[in-house]
């Protein structure tokens, strides 16, 4: 299996290193427009392979043609929102970057899957699908695993229990309107409500929603990359090993949960064919309302793409 990672910044490079360290795939190509950066990072990782006892081939390039034959394309391309930028400014900048990225994916890796990490995540995933013309099962985004990991980490911190025993699911768009589902959160099969009162759970949910911003405020000059790269690697592992794992994935909905023609976070089976099935949970009216609110925000972003003739 060959994976091409577009963008060799902190998320892209960290993802590449995780794939090499775990020998998840056979070959990794780091791609970036900055001359020398993907080559340098790729060489550094290749030189670490003997210590890691890994035979994964890793190279870096500025040439999109190097993604030819890739099974999975991880798209991290884009810029973070900067002070003074409006949401529309960010959307315009990143959609233009991703138009070029997607055109090259179609040209050089037409049989690949596209795993979107670029922000705004749900909107960029929709754009990648529209621009590529790929089947819906072959285009999906990473956000839910990251958000769920943060949620589980905060629960473990609060209770002093192992993260391994915490199972949870989140839905909706990646951002402040994401929908954690404490009703489906368990610790070794025991409901979360057995351990924590509602006000504590609500506080953890709020911290989860602001999780990315909390890290940005601490770092001052960057954003998270360890947890995002771990989440991407988990998705690739599920696909390459055909594990059929049920994971929170930004996936296309065509009537599920009453939503159509939208990409949003839902539990889905991830395997060798990409998103193999969306799992529909029996939500309460309140949960349905929160999901609808989150989906509406994503849909408004998609509408902005069309109204500004960006798609």
Q: Are 140 and 278 in contact (CB under 8 A)?
A: no
Q: Which residues contact 42 (CB under 8 A, 6 or more apart)?
A: 8, 16, 29, 30, 58, 59, 60, 61
Positions annotated as catalytic residues are: 174
């Amino acid at each position: 299996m060959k994976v091409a990672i577009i963008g060799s910044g902190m998320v892209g490079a960290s993802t590449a290193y995780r794939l090499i360290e775990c020998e998840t795939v056979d070959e990794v190509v780091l791609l970036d427009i900055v001359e020398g950066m993907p080559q340098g990072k790729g060489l550094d990782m290749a030189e670490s392979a003997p210590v890691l006892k890994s035979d994964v081939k890793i190279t870096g390039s500025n040439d999109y043609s190097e993604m030819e034959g890739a099974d999975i394309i991880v798209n991290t391309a884009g810029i973070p929102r900067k002070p003074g930028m409006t949401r529309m400014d960010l959307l315009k900048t990143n959609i233009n970057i991703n138009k070029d990225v997607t055109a090259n994916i179609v040209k050089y890796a037409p049989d690949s899957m596209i795993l979107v990490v670029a922000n705004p995540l749900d909107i960029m995933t929709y754009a990648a699908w529209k621009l590529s013309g790929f089947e819906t099962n072959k285009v999906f985004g990473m956000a839910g695993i990251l958000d769920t990991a943060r949620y589980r980490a905060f629960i473990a911190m609060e209770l002093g229990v192992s993260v391994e025993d915490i199972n949870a699911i989140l839905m909706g768009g990646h951002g402040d309107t994401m929908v954690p589902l404490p009703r489906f959160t368990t610790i070794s099969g025991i409901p979360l409500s057995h351990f924590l009162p509602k006000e504590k759970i609500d506080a953890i949910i709020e911290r989860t929603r602001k999780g990315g911003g909390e890290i940005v405020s601490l770092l001052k000059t960057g954003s998270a990359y360890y947890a995002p790269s771990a989440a991407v690697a988990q998705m690739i592992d599920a696909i390459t090993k055909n594990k059929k794992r049920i994971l929170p994935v930004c996936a296309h909905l065509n009537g599920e949960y009453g939503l159509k023609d939208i990409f949003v976070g839902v539990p889905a089976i991830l395997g060798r064919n990409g998103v193999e099935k969306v799992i529909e949970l029996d939500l309460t009216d309140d949960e349905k309302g929160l999901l609808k609110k989150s989906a509406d925000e994503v849909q408004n972003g998609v509408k902005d793409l069309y109204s500004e003739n960006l798609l």
